Amino acid sequence: MRRFDHLADVEAFITVMDRGSMTAGAVALGTTPSVLSRAITRLETKLGTQLLRRTTRRISLTEAGRTYLEQVRAAFETIDQAERAVQGTGILAGRVRLSVSTTYGHFRLPEKLTRFALKHPSVIVELSVANRNVDLVAEGYDLVIRLGQLPDSGMIGRKLEDAPLRLVASPAYVARRGLPRSIDDLTAHTCLHAENRPSRAVAVPGRWE
């Protein structure tokens, strides 16, 4: 059972008192005085008390109605404030947790993050640089940047850019060891093993940590 299925009747009550009459309240809400009168009657029945004294010419609050009006006005104002707080003021603010692979995080992301921080100084980006697969939900990440195709999942993917990979070597090395023609050829070449260790950084407007 819904606890607050009578909020429309509460709004009718507030509007009538704010406008001063059933007729003016009906105009404000785009309905008729009889509809508002029935709404307030339902509200009084639910509360088990009389809120309004009605005559042919005017309406007035009972003591219970005065107390109730004060409280529900405050409640509706709290709802208005809550909605304004999340509907957006044109200014982005808050904290975003981002996971990014090491190569992209070290070479491609810094310039993009700098531009983002200048445009949105109220956003704090908490950055994790690592090549492991992360669980967005379990680990609390908002965004993940990875290379390759997005597997079938409930996640939403967006292509950032095309970044082709290249295998490079110095002319002196090629002269000594020859030019590899495939990935398998690398087993016969001198290679450095790169171990990717996770690192963390927090980008705060105005400074980097």
* Domains defined for the chain, CATH in brackets: 7-87 (1.10.10.10), 94-176+190-208 (3.40.190.10)
The predicted structure's pLDDT at residue 42: 94
Instruction: Quote the pLDDT of residue 147.
Output: 79
Query: Which carries the bigger pLDDT value, residue 189 or residue 41?
Result: 41
Q: CB of 198 within 8 A of CB of 139?
A: no
Which pLDDT band holds residue 189 (cuts at 50, 70, 90)?
confident
Is the pLDDT score of 151 beyond 80? no
pLDDT at site 12: 93
- Average pLDDT over the chain, rounded to whole? 83
Average pLDDT for 14-32 = 90
Considering only residues 151 and 109, tell me which one the structure prediction assigns the higher pLDDT: 109
pLDDT above 60 (res 130): yes
Q: What pLDDT, in 10s, does the model give residues 52-73?
A: 998 777 889 999 999 999 999 9
Please give the C-alpha separations between residue 35 and each of 30, 47, 62, 123, in angstroms, as whole numbers.
10, 19, 21, 47
Provide the whole-model pTM.
Answer: 0.45
Determine the average pLDDT of the residues in 134-160: 80
From the list 136, 123, 144, 155, the residue with the least C-alpha distance to 113 is 123
